[in-house]
Structure 1
Amino acid sequence: MAWGSVLWFLLHWPVSWSSPITYLGVLVMMHLYTGLFITAHDAMHGVVAPGNKKLNTIIGTLTAGLFAYNYYGRLYPKHHQHHRHVATDQDPDYHGGNFFLWFFSFARQYITVVQLLLMGGSFHLLQLWFPQENIILFWMAPAVLATFQLFYFGTYLPHKGEHDPDNKHKSSTQGRNHLWAFLSCYFFGYHYEHHDKPYLPWWKLYQEKDRLVKGRQTV
């Protein structure tokens, strides 16, 4: 609802390059796009509507689709494959190369020709009602930026490099800073915590972070 409401407002906003609202709008929409994907991700773990599998799938399909026509039915098996085979050759999210090669590999896994055609068609359709610059600034650009945001904070940073052999999830984690963790990727920088307890929704990951930090302090 937040994504749709803010987007509707910004599509009608008279774009002014001297107004901070223009730039803030791009950042807010980027954050909300990331939230769409995080909601779809939580649906893949069955925690959006626990006990109601059909509703959980509907919400996951809707939020994935609103994010540049991602297809939930395609994302679901790949994400669970990532959890089963994290940081191995069987992990669709993993690549041992540098940032750019890794992102290219990641994009090949999740961006399809059908998505690009649907985005292109929607872009031309939206121009019937809204200014082109609004569509680019507030609908298209934030989706691209959020894709980089999700990849960088939710895949690349947690899984890059060598991990301690005792690290069973082959995942690192951000330092405890709940505000930054929320703004950067809805607490998914607390990535070890997510892999350790994938049944926790995004808004409970900070509690698990606190529990682990306090546990280490008392040792």
Structure 2
Amino acid sequence: MKKYTGLFSAGMIILLWGLHLSFWIQEPIHWQSPWFYLAILVQTHLYTGLFISSHDAIHGVVSIEYPRLNHAIGRLCAILFAFNNYTILRKKHHHHHAYVNTVDDPDVHQGNFFIWWFKFMFQYIHWTQILAMAITYNLLKIWFPMENIILIWELPAILATLQLFYFGTYLPHRGTHEPDNKHQSRSQAKNHLWAFLSCYNFGYHYEHHDKPYLPWWKLAEAKEQNSQISSR
């Protein structure tokens, strides 16, 4: 059954994202309720999971045996995450791995956090994505309250983008110009719960660059192995 773990993981994230969104996008907003704010955070985390699933598909590990299915799921996850273009994501991400922390790296722009974030976003946003979001928003307004659409559908996607950038790009690559660091990447301290909650283990970023064939749930094991080696 291990060969189907990637499919199960991506499928569960897609299912939970859809069910959670379907419930809260029509639920009356109670500003005093902590459950509403928790729902935004949960939806943000599920959006991040969509992107991570798409990212794993880029590396071919959602379904190793069935490449077409692998990339179909990656494309679906990218679309659900604010209509991202999987083809662009795939091309740019492979460039990131090939030219990490160089002038040819599309993800790393050393310097001010906000300038870096803007340049990072500019690499991936396409006019077709903006058009699709606008059309979908206006269609959703026919059936659901505008506030719910903004707070449950749009805001979590924006927050997830920030989450992915901060924990998955900025912290791992900030100021990394170490001659003995072959991947020009660093990892967070070993804390598997925080690694999952913050960015589906991609705080263990050196491990990802060292073994890009590992799916997100295997990065904790790689971190364990590296921690044991470094402690000897």
TM-score of the pair, normalised by structure 1: 0.98
Offset at residue 175 of structure 1 (A): 0.2
Q: List, as ranges, runs of 4+ consecutive aligned residues in structure 1 with deviation greater than 4 Å.
A: none
Query: Which residue number in structure 1 is paired with residue 218 of structure 2?
Result: 204
Partners of 2:101 and 2:176 within 8 A in 1: no
Offset at residue 55 of structure 1 (A): 0.3
SS of equivalent to 2:187: coil
Query: Which residue number in structure 1 is paired with residue 114 of structure 2?
Result: 100
Distance 1:22 1:112 in 2: 31
SS of equivalent to 1:127: helix
- Aligned to 2:39, which of 22, 25, 42? 25
Offset at residue 121 of structure 1 (A): 1.2
Q: How does 1:6-85 map to 2 (within 5 A)?
A: 6-85=20-99
Q: Deviations over 1:26-78 (max 9, x none)?
A: 00000000000000000000000011100001000000010000011111111
SS of equivalent to 2:175: coil
Distance 2:31 2:91 in 1: 43
Q: How does 1:173-212 map to 2 (within 5 A)?
A: 173-212=187-226
TM-score of the pair, normalised by structure 2: 0.92
Offset at residue 211 of structure 1 (A): 0.9
Query: Which residue number in structure 2 is paired with residue 87 of structure 1?
Result: 101
SS of equivalent to 2:143: coil
Structure 2 unaligned blocks of 5 or more: 1-14
Offset at residue 184 of structure 1 (A): 0.3
> For structure 1, which segment, 111-120 or 188-197, has the greater mean C-alpha deviation from structure 2 after superposition?
111-120
Letter in 2 for 1:142: P
Q: Aligned pair count?
A: 218
Letter in 2 for 1:13: E
Letter in 2 for 1:110: Y
Distance 2:94 2:105 in 1: 9
> For structure 1, which segment, 155-164 or 188-197, has the greater mean C-alpha deviation from structure 2 after superposition?
155-164
Offset at residue 164 of structure 1 (A): 2.1
Query: Which residue number in structure 1 is paired with residue 170 of structure 2?
Result: 156
Query: Which residue number in structure 2 is paired with residue 130 of structure 1?
Result: 144
Structure 1 unaligned blocks of 5 or more: none
Q: Deviations over 1:92-132 (max 9, x none)?
A: 00102210110111011011222112111111100111111
Distance 1:214 1:168 in 2: 19
Q: Deviations over 1:2-41 (max 9, x none)?
A: 1001000111211100111110110000000000000000
Distance 1:56 1:16 in 2: 40
How much identity, in percent, do the aligned residues show? Answer: 59
Letter in 2 for 1:45: H
Distance 1:107 1:216 in 2: 35
Query: Which residue number in structure 2 is paired with residue 110 of structure 1?
Result: 124
Q: For the aligned residues, what is the CA RMSD?
A: 0.8
